[in-house]
Amino acid sequence: MSIHRTYRGVSADVRREQRRAALLEAALDLMGSDVADISVRGVCASARLTQRYFYESFTNLDELQLALLDKIAEEIALEGAAALADRVPADLNDACRTAFEGAFSVFEKDPRKARAALLVASGTSGLTEARRRIVLAYAEQMAGFFGTQYGAAVDAPRGRVALLYAVGGALEATHAVLNGDVEMSPGELSEMVGSLLASSVRQVATD
């Protein structure tokens, strides 16, 4: 039988979630800064928590960084969907561009998240599985939105492959621009990626 104690009116579960959130925010602060070495001790110091509470939520530093990446990825998906909900796109290209602009705004509003995502991508154990999960989730979101317009073609195997290809390419293009490998403004990137995403959806619909 488990005992759930409260402290100042806050349950143990809520306090645990608050500590986890504090650790994620601390990791974001450090990874989004010029700090060269991110450590468990450094994250705990920034969060004003002991290492005991770090291991309450995360097995190691890689697990924390992947959790932060998942959190950023979820925010990107929500912002992309919100951008589409806020306006009626003129056409398919406009819809894809609008969704990407909303997604990319996460990095524009908080540059720490762009730097953190790049750091995780540069060498965190488990990144391959995390990236696969994110690409699948984004492709599923696209299928849900465009399926209402293009129907079964988007949900068919060929449609799914096309969306996975498009989403994976969009992520790589975004990474290249954020990392400085390609010089392109956010507006140019949104226009280009929006056009490529729309082309993939259109190809599926006309097959």
For residue 39, what are the CA distances in angstroms to 27, 44, 60, 62, 204? 9, 9, 10, 10, 46
The answer, yes or no, to whether residue 38 has pLDDT greater than 90, is no
User: Which tokens go with 181?
Assistant: 């490998």
Rounded Cα gap, residues 102 and 14, in angstroms: 31
DSSP codes of every residue in 4-24: --EETTEEHHHHHHHHHHHHH
Q: Mean per-residue pLDDT for 76-80?
A: 95
> What does the pLDDT look like over 163-204, one tens digit per residue?
899 999 999 999 999 989 999 999 999 999 999 998 888 877
Rounded Cα gap, residues 115 and 117, in angstroms: 5
Give residue for tokens 């465009």. 146
Question: What per-residue confidence (pLDDT) applies to 203?
Answer: 79
At residue 2 the predicted structure's pLDDT band, cuts being 50, 70 and 90, is very low
Rounded Cα gap, residues 141 and 8, in angstroms: 41
Give residue for tokens 């990874």. 31
> What does the pLDDT look like over 107-123, one tens digit per residue?
999 999 999 988 887 76
> What does the pLDDT look like over 126-139, one tens digit per residue?
888 888 999 999 99
Q: Lowest mean pLDDT of 85-89, 148-152, 200-204, name the range.
A: 148-152
